[in-house]
Amino acid sequence: MTYGNMLRAATLVLFVWAASPKAVVSGQDSPATIQQRVLKVEASADDPLVNHPLTPVLRFAYRRLAALEVDIRDFTCTLIKRERINGELSGYQYIDLKVRTRQEEANGVTPLSVYARFTKPASVAGREVLFVENKNEGKVLARRGGTRLSYVTTSVEPDGPLALRDSRNPITEVGICNLIRRLIERAESDIQHDEVHVAYYKDSRINDRPCTQIVVTHPVPRDYFLFSRAEIFIDNEMNIPVRYVAYTWPTQPGGPELLQEEFTYTNLQLNVGLADADFSAENPAYMFYRRDDEDAGDK
């Protein structure tokens, strides 16, 4: 059974690989070298990566990213997220997203474009964020939202302290392909070490949609590991990740793991035909520079 077929299986199957604490590469391989080895490892039985538990995960991620970069032009969804910021775990935030991916074509470049509207909780409801690559001097246009001075609109650096006050990642990194890229970066680091367990669960569901759950665990804390456990959920029909959760080790022996970040993409619609107007601050459905009691069009 191929890995792709395994991911699509509907019955419950559990696969677990465990590895001993030793390095599987000499020194630190570059991402390009790791990718080359992972994609060729089936034909290279003498490569130590052939038995590494992360190899099938990385191979799947490389291939899906290459396909999705071509197949996904835009999408809409509701993102539900929680993150630990400065040691404090936030509550759930609900964000309606419109994303148009960067596309290079014969007639020019379609820039990466992101519009986000926060709907919950009340402390951020009405917040809007707009980013269009190479527009607004590379800055994010943000409407404060919430319960006080909600109409205040300003431009901020996407990776600056104001933009990252309530988030671990800039808005420019939102999206399915960027989520896969982040997972690849972490897996490329972790695959250079052992002490990795990987399990697959075939009967998971997210928003009542069948998913395959991949659980990556590092049983022993090491400085080079960023998490103790990560969970990735792959939508079986769309064959793309729709949920990611990461934990770190307990602060005390026997204590619970600490949730670091949690992202779930629901109501995902691909290639809906988003236009320039969807990423314009002048869109009458948006509230940039306006008070909440002013009229706005349908959102």
Q: Is residue 258 part of a domain?
A: yes
Q: Is residue 292 part of a domain?
A: no
Q: Is residue 202 part of a domain?
A: yes
Lowest mean pLDDT among 30-39, 98-107, 151-160, 181-190: 30-39
Pair (226, 254) in one structural domain: yes
Number of domains the chain contains: 2
Q: Is residue 294 part of a domain?
A: no
Q: Is residue 295 part of a domain?
A: no
Q: Is residue 296 part of a domain?
A: no
Residue 27 has pLDDT above 50, yes or no: no
Predicted confidence at residue 270, as pLDDT, reads 96
Please, which pLDDT band fits residue 187 given cuts at 50, 70 and 90?
confident
pLDDT in tens, 221-243: 999 899 999 999 999 999 999 99
Higher-pLDDT residue of 277, 188: 277
Pair (125, 260) in one structural domain: no
Predicted confidence at residue 140, as pLDDT, reads 94
Q: Is residue 288 part of a domain?
A: no
Pair (167, 117) in one structural domain: yes
Write the single-letter amino acid at 259.
L
Pair (65, 186) in one structural domain: yes
Pair (83, 227) in one structural domain: no
Residue 144: domain span: 73-175+273-279
Pair (159, 225) in one structural domain: no
Pair (60, 206) in one structural domain: yes
Q: Is residue 134 part of a domain?
A: yes
Identify the H or E element spanning 132.
strand 128-132
Pair (213, 66) in one structural domain: yes
Percent of the chain with pLDDT over 90: 51
Pair (183, 228) in one structural domain: yes
pLDDT in tens, 273-284: 999 999 999 999
Pair (165, 184) in one structural domain: no
The rounded distance, in Å, linking the Cα atoms of 222 and 239 is 32
Pair (116, 170) in one structural domain: yes
Pair (161, 90) in one structural domain: yes
Residue 18 has pLDDT above 80, yes or no: no
Write the single-letter amino acid at 57.
V
For 17, residues 6+ apart whose C-beta sits below 8 A from its C-beta are 51, 52, 53, 196, 197, 198
What are phi and psi for residue 58, nearest 5 degrees? -65, -40
Q: What is the residue-wise DSSP string for 250-278? A: -SSTT-PPEEEEEEEEEEEEE-----GGG
What's the mean pLDDT in 110-120?
A: 95
Sign of CA dihedral 238, 95, 143, 89: negative
